[in-house]
Amino acid sequence: MENHHPKPVENYMTANMILIFVNLMWVFVALWSYWGLGVVLILAALLNRLITRIDMARRRRDAKFDGI
């Protein structure tokens, strides 16, 4: 029986980040044009808080895992 190893895939991180940025921008522009800048600022602050909480939870989880 032959042993077929999977080939390494390309790193699409940069392309994904650009697409997330573009999508976030058009959503922000649409919200800004409909409800105003205040809603966009509140949403941006909430997204920032959510990303920070996810980062802190991952760091806590990784700190508890010693790898033993």
Residue extents of the structural domains in the chain: 37-68
**Cα Rg of the chain, angstroms:** 19
d(CA 19, CA 51): 17
pLDDT in tens, 3-59: 787 888 889 999 999 999 999 999 999 999 999 999 999 999 999 999 999 999 999
Q: Is the pTM value of this prediction over 0.75?
A: no
